Each structure stands twice: as structure tokens, then as C-alpha cells.
Amino acid sequence: MNQIRTWAFTLLFYLGSVPIVAATPITALLGHRAFMANVHLWSRFHRFAARVTLGITTRYEGGVSPEPTFYAAKHHAMFETLELCRTLGNPVFVIKRELAAIPVWGWAVQHYGAIVVDRDANAAALRQMMREAKAALAQGRSVIIFPEGTRVAAGEKPPLRSGFAGLYRVLGLPVVPIAINSGDVWPRQGAKRPGVVTFRFGERIPAKLPREEIEARVHAAINVLD
């Protein structure tokens, strides 16, 4: 049954996504508001498709900050990317360069305002990432990073990548960790299954902590549901 549900989701979501993604160049020409409305439409459609075909719903624990914030989140699946896009009010995501190379979608992501970095970024690339993050905050948008660097399976707890600590230091802001358990119902391989995806917003961690301490605290906080 779960495999049938997964096939149904794939068919519904990807067929329904074609006109939404294809419309991004048009909405971009119509202005920022139209473009973001299209992004939110895709996010809502994704949630709808996951609920009606897979039986996956969402639950939020803890409060979302009303002001531009630096977030660090667990990353199991595409599910949380689209979900947090709308929930956090169009945050700027730090994403790997491979995603930006996907035709049409990659262009849309960059137009949206994502910060594109290489997994093994050199010092110059990291400085560019930090400049773009500062600019996003100045525009009133939150910044969100997946500090483990990529999607991981449920239960996996890899160390944080160096880009997180550098961004934390340069921004000089507190960080809000987000624990997510989407990997329990949305594995990287195999059938998806019904369940509740929990987004747990942790306590705000102060700015200007030593690297070892901030990495340890964020790592622990984003993994509390694993």
C-alpha cells in the first residue's frame, strides 16, 4: 500500500508542478509579489499532495520568530524545504550548487534569492555566502541553513559543515535550531509512509559563542527528534 501511495504522490505532485514551475519566468516578469505568490502556491500544493496521497501531515512546536532570524535546520527530505519556505515567510536558503544547475528550477531558486555555495567552498566562496546572507537580513528576510550540508537518513547525525560556524560568526546573530523528523516517513529510498512530520523550533541560542560550543549546541538541538 505504501508503494502505491508513493506512486500516486509522484504522479500527482510532479504533473501538478509542471505548470507551476513553468510559470515562474512569467510571474518573475510580473514582479516580486507575483513570483512569491507562485512559490507559495507550489508549497501549498506540495502539502496537499502529501496529505491526500501519502497521509502525511505536519505539526509545529515552538514559536516562529516574527523578525528576520538565522535558522539552522535538520534536513531529511525535500518536504521541509517547501514547507519552511511558506512558514518562515520567504526565507533565504543556503543551497548546494548542484541544485542551482537544474534547468528552470535552478533559475527559479536563484531568482527567489537562495545563497548558492559549493560543498567544499573555498574562502572566497564562503565570504560571498556571508555577504549575501547579510544582504538578505537587511531586506527583512530570514536566513536558513542546513548545517549538516545535505539530506541525511533518519537517525544519522553527521558533524556540522564549516560554513555554518563561519556564517554564525560573521552575522553575529543568535541562531534558532529546527529539529525535523521527516526522515521517519519520507526516506531517501523506498516507499514513503503515512505519519506526522514535526517541526520543533528550539530555544534561541545566543550569538558570539565559541565555535566548539555553538556547533555542539546546534547539533544537539536539531537532532532531538532523531
CATH 3.40.50.720 describes domain 57-222: no
Question: What confidence tens digit (pLDDT) does each residue in 209-220 have?
Answer: 999 999 999 999
Q: Record the pTM.
A: 0.89
Q: Where are the domains of the chain?
A: 57-222
Q: Which of 24-38, 114-128, 137-151, 152-166 has the lowest mean pLDDT?
A: 114-128
Q: Provide the pLDDT for residue 66.
A: 83
The per-residue pLDDT for 103 is 63
**pLDDT tens digits, 35-55:** 889 989 999 999 999 999 999
Encode the chain in three state secondary structure. Answer: CHHHHHHHHHHHHHHHHHHHHHCHHHHHHHCHHHHHHHHHHHHHHHHHHHHHHHCEEEEEECCCCCCCCEEEECCCCHHHHHHHHHHCCCCEEEEEHHHHCCCCHHHHHHHHCCEEECCCCCHHHHHHHHHHHHHHHHCCCCEEECCCCCCCCCCCCCCCCHHHHHHHHHHCCCEEEEEECHHHCCCCCCCCCCEEEEEEECCCECCCCCHHHHHHHHHHHHCCCC
- Which of 94 and 103 is assigned the larger pLDDT? 94
